[in-house]
Amino acid sequence: MANVLIIDDDPDVRQVLASAVESAGHDALSAGTLESARDAAGSFSFEAVFLDLSLPDGHGLDALNEFQELSSLPEVIIITGKGDPAGAELALNKGAFDFLEKPASITEVTLTLVRALEYREARLRRTREGFIKRSGIVGSSTALARCLQDLGQAAITGNSLLIFGETGTGKELFARTVHDNSPRSSGEFVVLDCSALSRGVLESTLFGHVRGAFTGANENFSGLVALSNKGTLFLDEIGELDLDMQKKFLRVLEEKKFRPVGSSREVYSDFRLVCATNRDLEAMVQKGDFRQDLLYRIRMHKCTLPPLRERKQDIPELCTHFLEETAGQLKAPPKEMYPEVLEIFSAYDWPGNVRELKHALEQAVAAASGEPILHRKHLPLHLRVSLLKNSLAGHNAGTQVLSSAFSPLGKEGVPEWKAFRAQVLEAAEERYFYDLYAHTGGKVKEMARLANLTQSRVYDLIKKYRQK
């Protein structure tokens, strides 16, 4: 028997879903707002969540990751009204199990729930059994765990895989993980960045050439597709291929045969294709810049890598990993970090993702030179400036709320006392914290002494307000 949370502002929809859940032998708890759903999630453990996209106090899509990352790791089923296919698609891309369109029948609801619970159990079992070798991937966040599960499922097949992710998320590392967990792991893992070569060089690099095929072809070259036989070919930035190369490569995918440049003989290669991109290939198809038939062939499996801002729980582990890696390269003991330095790393949004984090740590280690501990002065200037701007913005916002507490009422009239009181107290606490932090220079022990708080409580306050 499972506990199921139903989040929808329509009482009739909640009743239908609850009846279906209970008829299937499970317990249902309903909530009409995100706030009440969060309260329920703080008191109960849920194995599945039905989440409406349109709610009085927010959009369900914005809260999707929050419910996915509950300690019970529930599967989230999206409830969508007619005319919102885009919202449903975004939800699926962010890891939702499935979606139901209103009005949904009891049979449809029950079947979707059964499948979600079965999938969740299998997913957790694979996690417990250590299903996938990580091949250097670091982190334990829910977002990363779900991604690894997707990769594990794709690895056991021979089908093509498309990895989508922002720049710096580690697409090549994840592609290698697929290879290392596949039946082809004993074969070669061959990498090609499609954006790094001109069209002529790209064709020769992929398919090879014979001696004398063009100026500079002084000897035969078999090409990367041939080298990938019985292994994996990873094409990074697949969206950079021009239409002519897309057509040629589609034929290679379909027939596993190709002709080296300048040769009249076809060569066979049994390779598995993994592609990666940070571009919207579907939008490119609509514009005529990418072949739809090729997209279908390379997207038999798809995995979307979470950006670092969506897996900030992994930042401490990543920092430790990269500091140890850098120390090994320098043949020196790994440096440590003051708590406030780690808070800066956790507060920053990392538009360059894991790659930017790694480079920032390398710069900090170089700046620290012989010092054993990194402090904020060692960090790249843009990180410190970003933190300063965010801190000042948060402090000014808190001051504005306090100032408005005694100002004349606006058009909205008198606010509800409970909500107004909570807002003012929150602003006062925030302002007190920033003043305390500035007064002590961020020394946790001194902050705890002056505020008569435990150091653990001070760390909680740092985490709370430095991430605003």
Q: What does the pLDDT look like over 370-401, one tens digit per residue? A: 888 898 888 888 887 776 666 555 545 445 54
Q: How confident is the model at residue 80 (pLDDT cuts 50, 70, 90)?
A: confident
Q: In terms of DSSP bridges, do strands 98-101 and 272-277 run parallel, antiparallel, or are they unpaired?
A: unpaired
* pLDDT at site 127: 58
Q: Higher-confidence residue: 72 or 270? A: 270
* pLDDT at site 359: 94
Q: In terms of DSSP bridges, do strands 257-258 and 267-268 run parallel, antiparallel, or are they unpaired?
A: antiparallel
pTM of the model as a whole: 0.65
Q: How confident is the model at residue 77 (pLDDT cuts 50, 70, 90)?
A: very high
Q: How confident is the model at residue 410 (pLDDT cuts 50, 70, 90)?
A: very low
Q: Which of 241, 253, 248, 247 is CA-nearest to residue 197? A: 241
Residues of the chain with CATH 1.10.8.60: 308-379
Q: Higher-confidence residue: 192 or 120? A: 192
Q: Which of 203, 202, 172 is CA-nearest to residue 190? A: 172
The Cα–Cα gap between 323 and 329 comes to 10
Q: Higher-confidence residue: 287 or 454? A: 287
What spatial distance separates the first Cα and last Cα of the chain, rounded to whole Å?
39
The Cα–Cα gap between 430 and 399 comes to 9
* pLDDT at site 103: 81
What ranges in 44-170 are assigned the alpha helix state H? 60-68, 85-93, 106-128, 142-155
**What share of the chain in percent tops pLDDT 70?**
89
Tokens describing residue 20: 């279906």
Tokens describing residue 1: 């028997």
Instruction: Note whether 343 and 169 are within 8 A (CB).
Output: no
Q: For all residues of the chain together, what is the average pLDDT? A: 85
pLDDT at 87 over 90: no
As beta bridge partners, residue 234 has: 191, 274
The Cα–Cα gap between 455 and 404 comes to 32
The Cα–Cα gap between 102 and 126 comes to 33
Residue type, 100: L
Q: How confident is the model at residue 408 (pLDDT cuts 50, 70, 90)?
A: very low
Residues of the chain with CATH 3.40.50.2300: 3-126
Instruction: Note whether 206 and 224 are within 8 A (CB).
Output: yes
* pLDDT at site 48: 94
Tokens describing residue 282: 């579907």
Instruction: Note whether 8 and 14 are within 8 A (CB).
Output: yes
Q: Once rounded to an integer, what is the mean pLDDT over residues 326-345?
A: 87
Quick: pLDDT tens for 343-354: 888 888 999 999
pLDDT at 113 over 90: yes
Q: Once rounded to an integer, what is the mean pLDDT over residues 225-246?
A: 95
As beta bridge partners, residue 7 has: 31, 51
* pLDDT at site 412: 54
Tokens describing residue 279: 């571009």
Q: Which of 135, 164, 134, 49 is CA-nearest to residue 97? A: 49
Q: Where are the beta strands (DSSP E) in 278-328?
A: 301-304
Q: How confident is the model at residue 45 (pLDDT cuts 50, 70, 90)?
A: confident
Q: Which fold has domain 308-379?
A: Helicase, Ruva Protein; domain 3 (1.10.8)
Q: Which fold has domain 142-306?
A: Rossmann fold (3.40.50)
| Relative orientation angle of helices 106-128 and 142-155, to the nearest 10 degrees | 90
Instruction: Give 84's Cβ-side CA count (13 Å radius).
Output: 20
Instruction: Note whether 347 and 388 are within 8 A (CB).
Output: no
Instruction: Note whether 184 and 232 are within 8 A (CB).
Output: yes
Instruction: Note whether 232 and 188 are within 8 A (CB).
Output: yes
Architecture, CATH, for domain 3-126? 3-Layer(aba) Sandwich (3.40)
Instruction: Note whether 204 and 218 are within 8 A (CB).
Output: no
pLDDT at 358 over 90: yes
Residue type, 248: K
3-state secondary structure of 321: helix
pLDDT at 105 over 90: no
Instruction: Give 90's Cβ-side CA count (13 Å radius).
Output: 13
* pLDDT at site 171: 96
Residues of the chain with CATH 3.40.50.300: 142-306
* pLDDT at site 390: 61
pLDDT at 189 over 90: yes
